[in-house]
């Protein structure tokens, strides 16, 4: 028994001699307001870089894994659970944070802008910015956003990830606007509609959105069950 205790003490002493670093999670939160793709940023309330725009982030707690930490950070800012979130990349440059030696694991998340707690956004000094009008960010956060946009574009071309950003019911115009925001370019309306109709994964409703014109535009829903069934049969979603 004594030998076992001695081994445990030696093991702990080994860890004591290793360098300790902080581990953070930073979240790139994308949203869509039915017109353009946006990103949610916060005004930093402490030094260094106090008062400048930043991604929302936080430090990993001892009882958490990274996914749980990222979910906690997202919930604190948006009041939302169970949203699409994906680990992006680990940033580890020695001087990336002037306050202390800090590694950061970046995540990106997709939410429907209409479906979040606006009061929490206000309390946290946060603001939605169109992607093209986002301000310069602190540390290496600009690199994080660029990498997240590149990942989002790749995902959107190979799977219907864009529906995570849309309300449950949407018009074909809104769908095209979303993909134009993700791809960063204008898309031909006729080709875009033809492409999505060929996928046969949308449900056309008997309802119309009357906000854009007197004639109105038909509303659609994403048929996730049918999409999953088609994927099992070998269906390839490719824009």
CATH number at residue 101: 3.90.79.10
Q: Are residues 119 and 223 in the same domain?
A: no
Percent of the chain surpassing pLDDT 70 = 95
Is the model's pTM score more than 0.85? yes
Indicate the number of domains in the chain. Answer: 2
Give the H or E element holding residue 219. strand 217-222
Q: Are residues 121 and 207 in the same domain?
A: no
List, for residues 132-182, the tens digit of each pLDDT value: 999 999 999 999 999 999 999 999 999 999 999 999 999 999 999 999 999
Q: Which of 158, 174, 204 finishes a domain? A: 158
Q: Are residues 117 and 170 in the same domain?
A: no
For residue 6, being part of any structural domain is answered with no
3-state secondary structure 14-74: HHHCCCCCEEEEEEEEEEECCCCEEEEEEECCCCCCCCCEECEEEECCCCCCHHHHHHHHH
Per the CB < 8 A criterion, the answer to whether 217 and 225 are in contact is no
Domain ranges, residue 185: 166-232
For residue 46, being part of any structural domain is answered with yes
Question: Would the pLDDT of 112 be above 80?
Answer: yes
């Amino acid at each position: 028994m004594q030998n076992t205790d001695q081994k445990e003490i030696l093991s702990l002493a080994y860890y004591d001699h290793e360098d300790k670093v902080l581990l953070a999670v930073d979240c790139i939160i994308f949203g869509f307001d039915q017109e353009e793709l946006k990103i949610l940023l916060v005004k930093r309330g402490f030094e260094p870089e106090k008062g400048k725009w930043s991604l929302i982030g936080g430090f990993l707690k001892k009882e958490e894994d990274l996914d749980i930490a990222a979910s906690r950070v997202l919930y604190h800012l948006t009041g939302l659970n169970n949203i699409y979130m994906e680990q992006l990349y680990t940033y580890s440059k020695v001087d990336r944070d002037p306050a202390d030696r800090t590694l950061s694991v970046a995540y990106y998340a997709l939410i429907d802008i209409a479906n979040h707690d606006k009061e929490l956004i206000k309390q946290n000094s946060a603001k939605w910015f169109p992607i093209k009008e986002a301000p310069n960010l602190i540390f290496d956060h600009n690199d994080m956003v660029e990498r997240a946009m590149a990942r989002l574009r790749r995902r959107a071309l190979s799977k219907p990830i864009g529906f995570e950003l849309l309300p449950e019911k949407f018009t074909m115009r809104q769908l095209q606007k979303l993909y134009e925001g993700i791809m960063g370019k204008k898309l031909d309306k006729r080709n875009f509609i033809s492409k999505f109709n060929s996928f046969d994964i949308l449900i056309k409703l008997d309802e119309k959105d009357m906000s854009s014109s007197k004639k109105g535009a038909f509303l659609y829903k994403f048929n996730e069950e049918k999409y999953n069934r088609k994927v099992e049969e070998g269906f390839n979603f490719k824009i």
